[in-house]
Every structure is written in C-alpha cells, then in structure tokens.
Structure 1
Amino acid sequence: MKTVSLSYPLLPEQLEQYAKAQVLAIGQFDGLHLGHAAVINRAVEIAHKEGILASVMTFHPHPKEVMKKGDYEGYLTPLHDKVEILEQMGVHVIYIVEFNDEFSRVSPQEFVLNMLKGLQVHTAVVGFDFRFGHRGEGNPEMLRDLGQSFMQVEIIPPFVLDSEKVSSSGIRKWLQTGNLSGANVWLGRCYSITGTVVDGEKRGRTIGFPTANLKLNDPYVVPAKGVYAVRVKYNDRFISGVMNIGVKPTFHTGEVIPSYEVHLLDFNESIYGQELVVELVAYIREERKFNSVDELIAQIRRDAEEAAVILKALK
C-alpha cells in the first residue's frame, strides 16, 4: 500500500503522479469500526470489479482537534494505527490530507472540483452521514450532484447492531464508562494502544508484580480507570497480561493524569525502551484505593489469575 500526503490545493506534480482512475472511500474513519469498514470494503469491492485502484482519503489532524470544538477527546485510531489497519483491508493507496485552518474554509464545490476531479476519481464511496467543505455544508447528496459529470457516488447506510447505529462517539462513550465489550464489538476487534516502556516508580517489582510503565505514542481516547485483561504484542508475538489504567490511589492523592502499567504473565525479560501494542480484551474491575499494601497485593494476584483465565479461553 502506498501512503500519500496531500495538502490543498493539489500541486501539478501531485496531479500528474496520482491522477488515475480509482475508487475512493472518503472519511475521517477514526476507529475504523464496523461502519467504516462497510464503506471501505465496498470501495475495495467496486475497485476489484472495475479493475482499478482502491483508495482511501482521510484527514489529519482530526478536524475537531484543529477547530478546537465539539467532543474531541483523543484518537481511537491514531494515524499510524489507521494506516496499518487499512493495509490489511486491501487498500492500494491512502491519501492523508492535511487538515488546517485554510483547508477548513474550502467550499464543497472547491473540494470536489479541485481534489476529487483532479485525482480522476471514478467512484466515491461515503457513509450516510459524511460531511465535507466549509462548516460541513456538503453532504452525500451534494457530493453526488457536484460530481455527476465525472464520477459516481455510492452512499453506504448506517451499520446497525441490536437496533443501535455503530459510531465512533458511541465507542468513545463505552470506553470511558468501562463497557469495553461493547466497544470491542463495534470496533470489530479489541481496542488497542501503543506505547514505549519507560522508567516508572519501580514499586511493582517490590511487591512481586513488576510492571512495564507505558508512555503512549499518541493521544488515544483514555478508557475508564481500572484493571484490564490484555494481550501485548512484543517482537511479533503475543504475551498475556493484566493492565492498570489509573492514578494509583493506594499510593497517591491528587493525581489526575492516568498511568498505564502492564504486568506481563510468565515473562521476565528487560523491555525498557521497547514499543508495545496492548490489546484491551476484557474489563476486570474499577480502580480503587486499598487499606494496605498487603490487601493490594492480594487483589493484584486475583486480577492476574482472572486475566489468565480470560485470555486462555481465547486460544
């Protein structure tokens, strides 16, 4: 898969290099959940049928981050994660359009004529709630009208599970309230975060449960504070583990920024400085303050045992 960075307006050399018949799925696609996958899979399907490229256009940074409004609370799938997932979906090209203040003022007409027509889009595939152009004035029907002379537009209906529309905002809410199972169903995979192992307080090793303290690589949506059963990808293999997200109230007061600490089961290698991908498989319990360190140790032991049982059932 080829990753292409674009900015508005497109340069003549960009048009010369990338303008070719293609089926283009357009959207922010934060989360790449089941609804997003329906849009992208349909684009890949049409492209295969037509014998042309399957491409995706997304925008970075997130428009809500740039405009400083709305309910932006971090990414479900930061750009690096998004690119990796799209590659697995059979996409040939991903266009990453720089979203800045200037681009936010581009009209729907300018976007269609100067970008989509310029790239020779054969078919655009969008979700039913797709918005584009200044103040989000463009919608799927307008896209179809503006492009009717040179491209087809296919509009994908809502993806519904148990009478609810799958959405990124819904997944964020579920993660933040501890409904990890609901979030993972809507994502179609386990929610994951990527971080680098850094020095922590080293308290875990003194109580028999050494932990890897993670510094996240990107501003992810922060799940509910608590304890999770996790699978950790390290050196192309998965290791079972238990992770605490929180402020460690047994040892600290007044902390508000959560830490991410992973205890890897049956593992004793030194991994400082290494990058770990952590898949959140199950929410075990909320974070709470314990009356003593011994009480905390006993609970951590129970958490590790519960995580091991949960993760063993996946194999």
Structure 2
Amino acid sequence: MAIQWFPGHMHLTRKAIEDRIKEIDVVIELLDARLPGSSANPMLAQLTGHKPALKVLNKQDLADPERTALWLDHYNALPGVRALALDASTVAPARALVAACHALAPLRGGMAKPMRVLICGIPNVGKSTLINTLKGKRAAKTGDEAGVTKAEQRIAIADDFYLYDTPGVLWPRIIVAQSGYHLAASGAVGRNAYNDEEVALELLDTLRSHYPQSLQVRYKLGDIAALRSEQLLEAVGRKRGALQSGGTVDTNKAAEILIHDFRSAALGRITLETPQEFAQWLAQGQQRDAERQAKKDAMEQARLVRLKKIPRPDPPVPAS
C-alpha cells in the first residue's frame, strides 16, 4: 500500500513559501539523518531551488555515523549547497547554522541588510526544537507528533538575523514507495495514513539486511537469516510480551513496539538509506510515475476520440 499524507494546512504552507521565498537569502532544510533522501521534500526543491541551501541532517545522534558521512559528502558536492549534521537540542552545533548561513550569503548581515532565513522540512523533523535552541527559550511549539506547527512564525535570532519558521510539509504524492515507509517509521506522517504492521514489516526487511545484530541484541534472538519478516515480527512480539489470550502474538502490538524502538534508538544508531540506494529508488519511482502518467494520458486521449465518434443527438423539435 502506498503511503500518502497531505493535510489541508500543507496547501497553505506551500502558498506561504511561494510568497515568502522572494525575500529570503538562505533556505535551511532540516532532514532526518536516519532517512535523508526520503525526508528531502522535492516540492521544496522546486519552490526554493534558486536560493542558497543549507541541508541540516538533524537527529544525528540517532543515525549511523558512517552513513551520515556519506550523506554529508553527497550534499556538499552539490552546487550552492552546504550540509552539516547536528542534534537540534545541542546548543553549540546549532549555532554553527548562523555561521553557515553567512557563508552562503556573505553580502547579507548588519542592520541595513539583515539576514533572512527560511527554515523548512517535513513534519516532526525537529524544526521547533532547533529554533528554541537557537533562540535560547521556547519560541516555537514542539511535540512528538507530525504537524504541530500550523502557521508561519518570524523569530529574531539576533538583531540582524531573522528566521521564518514554516509548518512541516510533505508533498502531494510520494512516488518512492520506500520513502513512504521510512517516513511513517520516523513519525513524519499522521497515524491514520499507514498500517503499523505493514510499516514494521518493511522496517524489518531493512534491519535484517543492514543491522541484523541490532535486532538480535535488542530482542535476544538467535540467527534470523532464515526467518521471513512475518516470522521475525512474531519473534519480536513473543520476546517483548505482546501476547494475546492463548499465547498467540498480537502482531499489531509487536509492530508498535518495533517502531517505537526504532524512533527512540533503542535498536541503536540506524540509517535506513544511503545516497546510492535512494538514487536507485528514485529512478525507479520516476520511471513508474512516467509510465503511470503515459497510461493516464493514453486513456484520456482514447476517451476524447470516442467522444468525437459518437454523434451528438439532434435537439428536440418543438411541438407545433
């Protein structure tokens, strides 16, 4: 099942970004260091592509440091882009953002030309926590759920540095299937948009391939190579006491446990994708999307042809 989530306020956010971007000097996009490719919003790239960009891999303390290094190299190789990784709640690294913004827009600064920065990203990626850290007080509302911020806020980080915070925004249609599952696992989409068991099974596929030891240690499992994902989810549930009457495993509860353990880093520091993997998924998604659009266009063309072949009925003759 494809995972999609685009509440009404996200349409308003898109319009707000379109209006605001004209007067912005630097765009900060917060990414989830555990899924940097999947948490990079292609809609934001379209709206802000001509502006200098700072890619911030947030929650680095939860991510695999070796894979984080790969993603930093990937983004820093792009023109007009700088990237760094941090934990949004740590003061010193967060303040490095200010210096990075000045490096990207060296002609801005001072009271006559204050720096104007737009900060954006997917829901629940940590923008509000970062803003509060930069400001040194609770300037933005935070919460462990998607979609806490609902309206744009302007926050003065310094006398000559203004930060415009936008609500977390996804994009209208996710064409990379893996991204949908990774976003759901991270908590970036609303609970009504996905099935816990389905997301957990996809998560187990990734963990078994790249982090089998994390599963074995956390759930005290033996060799898991021969287990299907469904069997592995049952094993997780049995080890963690997610049992129903009669001793059967409550797989939905087991799924919730697994997802929670991933989000809290109880499984260890994990990154679900590499730049190379995501590039491959994206190419496949774009191909499928192009095929879908071509099929849709062909069906519409056939419909128009049929309409032209069907003679319109003559208008009724008025009774004399």
Class of the TM-score when normalised by the shorter of the 2 chains: 0.3 to 0.5
Greater helix share, structure number: 2
Structure with more contact order per residue of length (Cα contacts < 8 Å, sep ≥ 6): 2
Greater strand share, structure number: 1
